[in-house]
Amino acid sequence: MTQTFGRHRGRRPRERAGNVAAALIAVGALAGAGYIAVRDRPTPGASSAAGVTPTSPPTTSLAAPCSDAATTFASPDFTGALTRVADEFRRARGSACSPVVVEPVAGPATLPDVVPPRRAAVWVARSTADVAALPRSLPHGATTAVASSPVVLALPAPMADAWGWPTQPLTVEAWRAWMLGRQTWAGAGHPEWGQLSIQMADPAHSPTAAIGFGALASLANGAPLTAPPDYTAPDERALSVIKVEHRVSSVTPDDAGVLPGREQSMADIVRRASAYVTTEKAVADHNAAHPTVPLAAVPLGGGSASIPLTAVRVGSLDTSTPGAAYAEAFVGYLGSDAGRVALRAAGLRGPDGAAPTDQPLGVAYAAASRPPAAVTPQSVQGAAKIFAVMHVRISSMALIDASGSMNQRFPGDRLSRIDLVRGLVGQTYRTASPRARSGVWFFHTVDEGGTPLIERATPLEVNKTPYGAGAHSDRVARALENVTIKGGTPLYQAVREAYAYTLSAYDPSYINQLVVLSDGANRDTTSPDQLGDLLTYLEQVQDPNRPVRIVCIGYGAEADMGALQAIARATGGRAAQVRTPAETASAVSFALFSA
């Protein structure tokens, strides 16, 4: 800890991993019994749970494209399957050249950049939500539902085995236990795996991630989640939902980067994440390539959480433009009985959830226990919005009044003001993300003469940063428990120094704020700082490229709310007064979550 006395500042400070217990790992679904199974060693001629013999993927002899071929765009998860279907389409037409060429595309926002001008093309969208997100500059035709792939929580097979799936189904209670830390990998006998963490694409750009996050959060909630949880005074249900977002340790730009590399060992995998929000098809493709660590997949909602693949013509809709005839014919084929047979033979499910009929070695499917639920643009956008609100990261530097008056009790209560602040910090860390940043300084005077003392107890650090035997968040809590309460209130000098530090530690990936908690006015101090000087300083040093707001909370009737409000307004922040302990919850919300 460094300190400032008076005007002087201190220093700133390839081997297959795991032994799968059974020859067949079948992972039970969240709130359902559908599964995708991983065979450790495939048995020739054995039937799968769906009554289908697993086979090697058929060799696809891709012909050269026809001169007026139609390009079909799709998410990278599905281009392999659609390439096989496109070749079946060629064979069905008896064509020597390929009428359809399949290309990957990240999503609707990038589609106008890749669709050839004045040509007809096909897009296999990931639900009508994708179609609704198409830029208006790109014309499109009617949609046709052609296939589906369940959204799953995938995890390394050894972890599935250690977790006990499917003999121990993942109920609401079990999922909450994992979210709240009552169940851990250490408790399952594998402390080397660290904490359960989740990797997924950004729900703002991926219906798979939006649907998956919505399903996981709803499981923790015990009911469909329609709004962000209560951060101010969360019960166990709300806290479980909050912790689902906390478990999302990595967000990739798109679905293509979600799964681990096929050559990665268990040790490599757990360094980044231990579970993945993806599709059944992506897991099947991953396992069919003989990875070092195969994945087990849990269909969310028993298969009801599913990506409905939708074919739609895009680009020029004029029937005379190049590629128009093939584009129209391919959309019709995908929606036909023959096309759906080809899609299921390529490893996709039917629109009704019917299991694939041709399965790669090492993968077996079972019928989902629930049919795919309807996916609307509103449901996908709603889940993405909830995640965006919950995923905001805040960097909060706390500047806490440690003057003698903070030992005073609230009228009619045994709780002192500093006790209330300690409770506020404890509540904050209960709901704050381990990837948020925090730090704490204290201010009071060192002697009866009023010499200012600014205690720089901790720097701004990410909460989960290791420190000693614990984490940085533990360090902040200990500093608050051990601070000495005495002396006067050099408020203005403390705010000036703390704001300068917070500005210097600015991180553009966070909402940066200085939270000032005080029960009094600037008094009983020899510091020459005045309110006008402080406001002038704040106006001069503010940087629009490094916005740092000040949030002020005044404790008790003696708090100088006029000064605190002026300080907060100078930086675009807010100020509030806490007169009774009952107002603590609203103070938590105000300090950390006000916009």
- Output the CA torsion 206→209→210→213 (10° steps): -170
- Of the residues 241, 271, 305, the one at which a domain ends: 305
Compute the distance between CA of residue 228 and CA of residue 238 in angstroms, rounded to an integer.
9
Residue identified by tokens 């940066």 is: 512
> Do 158 and 259 share a structural domain?
yes
The answer to whether residue 370 scores a pLDDT higher than 60 is: yes
The answer to whether residue 521 scores a pLDDT higher than 60 is: yes
> Do 415 and 274 share a structural domain?
no
Over residues 429-442, the pLDDT tens digits come to: 888 889 999 999 99
> Do 568 and 431 share a structural domain?
yes
Residue 282 falls inside a structural domain: yes
> Do 554 and 452 share a structural domain?
yes
Q: Which of 338, 336, 331 is nearest to 317 (CA)?
A: 331
The answer to whether residue 172 scores a pLDDT higher than 70 is: yes
50, 365 in Cβ contact below 8 A? yes
Q: Which of 211, 339, 335 is nearest to 279 (CA)?
A: 211
User: How far, CA to CA in Å, does 365 sit from each of 46, 286, 465?
Assistant: 13, 15, 41
Residue 527 falls inside a structural domain: yes
Query: Mean pLDDT for the chain?
Result: 85
CATH of the domain at 472: 3.40.50.410
Phi, psi of 261 (to 5 degrees): -65, 150
The answer to whether residue 350 scores a pLDDT higher than 70 is: yes
> Do 419 and 526 share a structural domain?
yes
End-to-end CA gap in the chain? 31
70, 315 in Cβ contact below 8 A? no
Residue 529 falls inside a structural domain: yes
Compute the distance between CA of residue 294 and CA of residue 287 in angstroms, rounded to an integer.
5
The answer to whether residue 50 scores a pLDDT higher than 70 is: no
| pLDDT for residue 34 | 40
Residue 210 falls inside a structural domain: yes
| pLDDT for residue 545 | 95
The answer to whether residue 237 scores a pLDDT higher than 60 is: yes
- pLDDT band at 420; cut points 50, 70, 90: confident
CA 102 to chain centre: 30
By mean pLDDT, which of 55-59, 133-137, 138-142, 566-570 is the weakest?
Answer: 55-59
> Do 578 and 450 share a structural domain?
yes
The DSSP letter of residue 349 is B
Average pLDDT over residues 138-154: 94
The DSSP letter of residue 25 is E
Compute the distance between CA of residue 1 and CA of residue 12 in angstroms, rounded to an integer.
9
Residue type, 107: G
Compute the distance between CA of residue 127 and CA of residue 108 in angstroms, rounded to an integer.
11
407, 485 in Cβ contact below 8 A? yes
Compute the distance between CA of residue 323 and CA of residue 463 in angstroms, rounded to an integer.
55
- Residue 501's Cβ-count burial label (10 Å; 0-12, 13-18, 19+) is buried
The answer to whether residue 365 scores a pLDDT higher than 70 is: no
| pLDDT for residue 588 | 61
CA 27 to chain centre: 23
Number of domains the chain contains: 2
CA 77 to chain centre: 20
- pLDDT band at 22; cut points 50, 70, 90: very low
Residue 471 falls inside a structural domain: yes
Compute the distance between CA of residue 68 and CA of residue 63 in angstroms, rounded to an integer.
14
> Do 576 and 468 share a structural domain?
yes
**Paired strand residues for 71:** 101, 121
| pLDDT for residue 345 | 93
Compute the distance between CA of residue 593 and CA of residue 513 in angstroms, rounded to an integer.
11
- Integer-rounded Cα Rg, in Å, for the chain is 29
Phi, psi of 161 (to 5 degrees): -65, -45
Compute the distance between CA of residue 343 and CA of residue 581 in angstroms, rounded to an integer.
62
Q: Which of 369, 373, 374, 372 is nearest to 35 (CA)?
A: 369
| pLDDT for residue 543 | 94
| pLDDT for residue 209 | 96
- Of the residues 260, 284, 305, the one at which a domain ends: 305
> Do 265 and 165 share a structural domain?
yes
- Buried b / exposed e over 188-204, threshold 16 CB at 10 Å, is eebeebebbbbbbbbbb
User: How far, CA to CA in Å, does 541 sit from each of 55, 492, 505, 514, 545?
Assistant: 68, 15, 14, 14, 11
Residue 301 falls inside a structural domain: yes
- pLDDT band at 47; cut points 50, 70, 90: very low
Residue 454 falls inside a structural domain: yes
Over residues 74-116, the pLDDT tens digits come to: 999 899 999 999 999 999 999 999 999 999 998 999 999 999 8
Q: Which of 343, 326, 309, 313 is nearest to 122 (CA)?
A: 313
| Longest alpha-carbon distance in the chain | 98
- Buried b / exposed e over 54-83, threshold 16 CB at 10 Å, is beebeeeeeeebbebbbbbbbbebbbbbbb
- Of the residues 305, 323, 350, the one at which a domain ends: 305
Average pLDDT over residues 388-395: 90
Percentage of the chain with pLDDT > 90?
63
The answer to whether residue 301 scores a pLDDT higher than 50 is: yes
Residue type, 65: P
Q: Which residue did the predictor score with more confidence, 429 or 282?
A: 282
> Do 424 and 550 share a structural domain?
yes
Q: Which residue did the predictor score with more confidence, 259 or 61?
A: 259
| pLDDT for residue 428 | 80
Tokens of 277: 């929000």
Over residues 457-480, the pLDDT tens digits come to: 999 999 999 999 899 999 999 999
Average pLDDT over residues 14-22: 28
- pLDDT band at 424; cut points 50, 70, 90: confident
Tokens of 513: 């704020």
> Do 426 and 296 share a structural domain?
no
Residue 191 falls inside a structural domain: yes
Q: Which residue did the predictor score with more confidence, 77 or 14?
A: 77
| pLDDT for residue 28 | 33
Q: Which of 441, 438, 490, 503 is nearest to 464 (CA)?
A: 438
> Do 409 and 296 share a structural domain?
no
Q: Tell me how long the chain is.
A: 595
| pLDDT for residue 423 | 82
Provide the domain limits for residue 437: 392-593
Pairing status of strand 120-126 against strand 65-74: parallel
CA 589 to chain centre: 21
> Do 262 and 165 share a structural domain?
yes
- pLDDT band at 43; cut points 50, 70, 90: very low
The answer to whether residue 361 scores a pLDDT higher than 60 is: no
How many CA atoms lie less than 13 Å away from 253 in the CB half-sphere? 6
| pLDDT for residue 306 | 93
Q: Is 378 helix (H, G, I), strand (E, B) or coil?
A: helix
The answer to whether residue 40 scores a pLDDT higher than 70 is: no
Residue type, 17: A
Phi, psi of 270 (to 5 degrees): -70, -10
Pairing status of strand 461-462 against strand 437-445: antiparallel
Over residues 469-513, the pLDDT tens digits come to: 899 999 999 999 999 999 999 999 999 999 999 999 999 999 999
